[in-house]
Amino acid sequence: MVFKIIHKQAVTKIDVVGQEELYYFWKKCEICGRSLDKILLTWPSIHRTISKIPFYKVLVDKFNDISVDYQRKKIYEDLPSIPMKYWINNMNKNLRYNKTCAKFPSPLDVQYQNLYWQNLRTSQGHYQVFGAYLDTRPGHNQGPTIRILAMVDQIVPVTPVYCQIWFEGRSKPVITKASEYMLAWRKEFRNYATGIYQPYLIPCQIPPSSHKLTVAAVSLVEHGCDNATNVLSVFYNKPVSDKRDVAVCVKGLDFLLEDLSLVLTEWFEMIRLLGADKIYMYTLQVHPNVSKVLKYYEEAGLIEVRPLTLPAGEPNAPYLQHQFLYNRVSFKRQAELVPYNDCFYKHMYEYKYITLLDVDEIIVPLIGDTWKDVVNYIEDNLDNQYDSYNFRVAIYMTDMFLTHKSFDDIPEYMHMINHINRAPIIERPGMYIKSFHNTETVLSLHNHYPITCMMRKRCKNHSMDPKVALLHHYKRRSIEKYTEFLKTSVADSTIWKYKSVLIDRVTGALKKMGFLVPV
């Protein structure tokens, strides 16, 4: 039993079972200034006057694996862009070009910003580097090239920079001048001026003498022999098997205030039914219930989630960031191109096509039921050298509510299949389209279509016949706008071909996650 001993000099919690525990009691109560003899003499009165308190079991995290190896493993999981393996394997080596030139930057000495970005400050401007990717695709004439994804506060022409390329088994870097930058934005989109961070892909060509070496890391510097303040692991996820068909990339989610767990669950199950091989997602700020949904589908193997921050001086405090993204739309659009291009380059060797979708969009086949049917149509009927295949959009406006009861046989927690009214006219080619991007030819991506492609000044895009497939965009609007929309809309229940299976899957998932409970 646990007791509380009240004394004029101290208040001490001790364990007392009986007089046989007096010695333990005395040791605990030494600060009371009593000898064991005095305690023995006064024990009956002490026993009567102490007051009982509840017994508590202490619950703390008893995990104590704080080894350096464990910490390094967690660093890599949190920041896969850091070349941890190369650094650890060469920690005791003198990694530099020579005594005065190009020292390898320890990850402990890199200049980080906003968690996932690294700095290069030049005499002309500021570079925020995010990721680096090895491009060995045969379609371009530069040979093996490392492409560094960065936000730079300059417009073309930008400062010439150099690449310090580090290889496995080598202690000296190869230093090359970066080739012409690729802007992953268009001037006509506006927000294009010096001082505003623009998304670029910066190419670092690997010289022929190093083609057979394994690339480990790369740094950007203003002058070839500078000691770098950044160092990036070079991603090269080339699979051994044939490419799968289609993966989905989703920009940084900003759902801080809205619980879109029901909408998101239906979207995930719909994308799964359509046959996507994988969904790669980035998160900025999301509601706790959205986090729960993401964790569920990540554990199921359908999605992969990476946290994301905005670059440079843009805000990352949750509520301020949410306001910034709402009120600074052009900055938001530019920042979105970073996760899109990061996703494309990380997975271009694994899939034939990559599509960039928002969680209120789906590409619905009309010549079959899955994206595999669309891919087969493309390969059987179209020039496979198109850089992208564009799907025209049908607008399905929805209300702002999170539950709906439009049809007796459709549960209220189903969002898309409760809204089958669309605009009467399919948007014309090129307007608000989404695409299957050809991973063999695209060099940089925008939300809707590729920006730059191999071997041509303008990308070669094909507008898909709307009888083959359509993009459904479920735009949430106020009840007033939704009611007005219904007056001119047409019913199109194409999505109902998935209704039965979709309801079963969504219902099962929501039950497992605890979002559906008996009344």
Cβ pair 410, 417 in contact under 8 A: yes
Q: How far apart are CA 427 and CA 284, in angstroms?
A: 31
Contacts with 370 (C-beta within 8 Å, 6 or more apart), sequence order: 273, 274, 275
| Closest residue by Cα to residue 79 from 324, 261, 291, 306 | 306
pLDDT for 30 beyond 80: no
Q: How far apart are CA 438 and CA 450, in angstroms?
A: 9
Higher pLDDT, 64 or 223: 223
Q: For 505-509, what is the mean pLDDT?
A: 98
Q: For 406-429, what is the mean pLDDT?
A: 95
Q: Verify cis geometry, omega within 30 degrees of 0, for the bond prior to 157.
A: yes
Give the pLDDT of residue 13.
43
Confidence band, pLDDT 50/70/90 cuts, at residue 319? very high
Digit-coded pLDDT (tens) for 476-486: 999 899 999 99
Cβ pair 459, 400 in contact under 8 A: no
Percentage of residues in the chain having pLDDT higher than 70: 89
Digit-coded pLDDT (tens) for 370-396: 999 999 999 999 977 899 999 999 999
When the pLDDT of each residue in the chain is averaged and rounded to a whole number, the result is 90
Digit-coded pLDDT (tens) for 252-303: 999 999 999 999 999 999 999 999 999 999 999 999 999 999 999 999 999 9
Rg, the chain, Cα only? 30
Cα atoms in the Cβ-side hemisphere of radius 13 Å centred on 331: 18
Confidence band, pLDDT 50/70/90 cuts, at residue 305? very high
Q: How far apart are CA 248 and CA 174, in angstroms?
A: 35
pLDDT for 456 beyond 60: yes
Contacts with 233 (C-beta within 8 Å, 6 or more apart), sequence order: 80, 81, 82, 83, 84, 86, 132, 216, 217
Helix H, strand E, coil C: the string for 427-480 is CCCCCCCEEEEECCCEEEECCCCEEEECCECCCCEEECCCCCEEEEEEEECCHH
Percentage of residues in the chain having pLDDT higher than 90: 77
Where do the structural domains in the chain lie, given as residue ranges?
Answer: 2-52, 81-235, 244-513
Give the pLDDT of residue 41.
53
Tell me the sheet residues that pair with 202: 148
What are the backbone dihedrals phi and psi of residue 182, each rounded to the nearest 5 degrees, phi first? -110, 120
pLDDT for 335 beyond 70: yes
Distance of CA 107 to CAs 204, 214, 228, 230, 259, Å?
A: 21, 20, 11, 8, 38
Residue 112 carries which side chain, given as an amino acid letter?
Y
Instruction: DSSP for 259-306, please give it.
Output: --HHHHHHHHHHHHHHT-SEEEEEEEEE-HHHHHHHHHHHHTTSEEEE
Lowest mean pLDDT among 2-11, 102-111, 127-136, 200-209: 2-11
Give the pLDDT of residue 212.
94
The CATH architecture one would assign to domain 244-513 is Alpha-Beta Complex (3.90)
Confidence band, pLDDT 50/70/90 cuts, at residue 47? low
DSSP 3: E
Higher pLDDT, 158 or 431: 431
Angle at 65 between CA 61 and CA 70, to 5 degrees: 125
Q: For 488-492, what is the mean pLDDT?
A: 96
Q: How far apart are CA 335 and CA 317, in angstroms?
A: 16
Contacts with 469 (C-beta within 8 Å, 6 or more apart), sequence order: 363, 364, 365, 366, 367, 374, 391
Q: How far apart are CA 512 and CA 58, in angstroms?
A: 31
> Is 0.85 surpassed by the pTM of this model?
yes
Confidence band, pLDDT 50/70/90 cuts, at residue 141? confident
Give the pLDDT of residue 454.
92
Higher pLDDT, 3 or 147: 147
Instruction: DSSP for 398-417, please give it.
Output: E-S-S----STTS-TT-SGG
Cβ pair 151, 130 in contact under 8 A: yes
